[in-house]
Chain A
Amino acid sequence: MPLTDQEIKELKARAKQIRLDIIDTTVAAGGAHIGGGMSIVEIMTILYYKYAKVDPSNPKWEDRDRIVVSKGHAGVCVAPVLANKGYFPREDLKSFNQFNSPFGMHLDSLKVKGVDASTGSLGHGLSMSVGMALGARVQGKSWNTYCILGDGECNEGSVWEAAMSASHFKLTNLITFVDRNKLMIDGPTEQVMGLEPFADKWKAFGFIVKEIDGHDFNALSEAIEYAHSEKSGPVLIMCNTIKGKGVDFMENEVKWHYGSVDSVLAQKARESVEKMS
């Protein structure tokens, strides 16, 4: 079912609020992985506000869908999403990175409600997602597992071990996203360690690949619904995204992988986000 205009409007409003919260959290934290946080906002928004079966009042609900943000440094996006969704007060985000806070820059699943896996060390999330998808199968459960990978993360060999097993076990209850923002800490992915032909690599590993604009809710919706209906193998949604999306001076800038934002920059960033259509 295509999204209605009203749904798109609501999703965009949610995404805008999450981006504003990412900026505020970055300010409070004294620095955060803001670039790669911004690039997955639409993916996270549509999952939490449209597709994922989750219950913020019962974060450990046995039959919930699992969401594993394998690119764990995007905690600065995940925490605001969970706060907006109602897992904990938005006020709590102010403690991000602070002494003894439940929120470190990489979220701890034992401390932050709604986090299904502690990630941060890259290349771990897809394996854990495979385990969760197998766990559903073994127990005859119908939940889906969604995994969000960074593109640079796919340099890690363990990602491909996990990919091999996802297709070997024919995990059609696993839906994998790659945040293809084309940048990593040291520069463009293709300069640091080339990934292309990236989609072909996934196909060769047995995935059905959908390549989309990862900021387009319609495209995301279509790809996710396709993935839900596809029963021949695991689906990977290659989301072409823009690192720093929404903040004009951060977009596609390598240096905004991780950064601090003072009150002046924060204001500029907010103004830029407010202008997003």
Chain B
Amino acid sequence: MSTKSGTTWTVYDANTMTQAEIYGQVLCDLGEANPKIVGLSADLAKSTKIGMFGDKFPDRFFNVGIAEQNMFGVSAGLARSGLLPFVSTMAAFVTMRAGEQVRTDICYQNLDVKIIATHGGTSFGAAGSTHHCTEDLAITRAFPNMTVIVPADGIETANAVKACVDWPGPVYIRIGRGFEPTYYKDENYGFQIGKAVELNPGTDITIICCGVTVLQAMEAAKILKESDGLSVRVLNMHTVKPIDEEAILKAVVETRRIITFEDHNVLGGLGSAVADVVAKSGKGCAFDKVGIPDCFCVVGYPEDLYSHYGLDSNSIIDKVREVMGKDFEEDESWEDEV
């Protein structure tokens, strides 16, 4: 299955392995090199793939059963003992069922606990709202000390998991259910926590995206170039916190139009994080957010949900055209003299 050498991932791996499988493999490699790494699961060792680590290092792996609150408390205790816990369960259970343990036991004590949350956004579409998680970025962003990362695909997941080992403090890495198409061809593109990746240069408008929307944004940029002659900048904002303010401000000045694009409630996630920076800049900028409207989602396979909620390339193309049509510089109701 894997054609990896060391922790280098190839196209073949990314196309045949899910984000979670790649995470599981990378964690095994990291665990080999670092005996401080321990793993925790709450009866989801198989679906989150942390079980791969458990099979390899049974003495450093703890399945606490279906008890997420306990799992995060236990991980805090392990971290306080000098170990480096990697903890996995579904995003909804990390941020809501055990949200207080994550905030108080881990973030308040600023502990080195690395959380890999699977089934983020609507990626577990058919399971319904109990298992969707379109709130997690809003929640984790508001926890002091927390770093929040949303990798675009399996390759970027590998990069994020490796990078978080040496990144101080708690880290929340949000991945999907595992059947998302990949964007990256290889891992050597200079991934750095807190630094956006400019995937496509552009001067007319910027799409700022993360996670599963990255591939859609890139497809849209290509189509818009060909059909509308638009130069669309695409920023992969894989780190939602701390957000890359410099890249956003550069986009404000250089493209003056920004659309954020995420599989998350439009309230509180990437869009809100970017909006904070745009508003603070004091510069005129046409701005819109594309994400899940403030609702509990319908049931369906992720690809159907993505089209239904406008998270596919066709929808973002329509949104780009709409925002390009906004004549924000000549607003007649603007009272310049006040």
Residues of A within 8 A of B (CB): 62, 66, 108-110, 116-118, 120-121, 123-124, 126-136, 138-139, 141, 145, 157-158, 161-162, 164-165, 168-169
A110 touches B110 (CB 8 A): yes
Residues of B within 8 A of A (CB): 38, 59-60, 62, 64-65, 67, 69-70, 72-83, 100-101, 104-105, 108-110
Task: Name the residue among B72, B80, B82 with the largest chain A CB count within 10 angstroms.
Answer: B80
Going nearest first, the 3 A-B pairs with the smallest beta carbon separation are: A131-B77, A127-B73, A135-B81
A124 touches B104 (CB 8 A): yes
If over half of A's interface residues share one DSSP class (helix, strand or loop), that class is named, otherwise mixed; here it is: helix
Closest chain A residue, CB of each to CB of B62:
A134
Chain B residue contacts of A133, Cβ below 8 A: 77
CA distance A135 to B83 in the complex (A): 7
B65 touches A124 (CB 8 A): no
Q: Distance in Å from the Cβ of A217 to the closest Cβ of chain B?
A: 28
If over half of B's interface residues share one DSSP class (helix, strand or loop), that class is named, otherwise mixed; here it is: helix
A139 touches B77 (CB 8 A): no
Task: Name the residue among A118, A138, A162, A165 with the largest chain B CB count within 10 angstroms.
Answer: A138
Chain A residue contacts of B72, Cβ below 8 A: 127
Q: Distance in Å from the Cβ of A160 to the closest Cβ of chain B?
A: 9
Q: A109-B109, A164-B65 are in contact. Are A130 and B83 (CB under 8 A)?
A: no
Q: Distance in Å from the Cβ of A63 to the closest Cβ of chain B?
A: 11
A131 touches B81 (CB 8 A): yes
A135 touches B104 (CB 8 A): no
Partner of B70, one of A62, A109, A165: A165
Chain B residue contacts of A109, Cβ below 8 A: 109
B76 touches A117 (CB 8 A): yes
A161 touches B70 (CB 8 A): yes
Partner of B80, one of A108, A128, A141: A128
Q: Distance in Å from the Cβ of B73 to the closest Cβ of chain A?
A: 2
Chain B residue contacts of A118, Cβ below 8 A: 104-105, 108-109
B73 touches A158 (CB 8 A): yes
B81 touches A132 (CB 8 A): yes
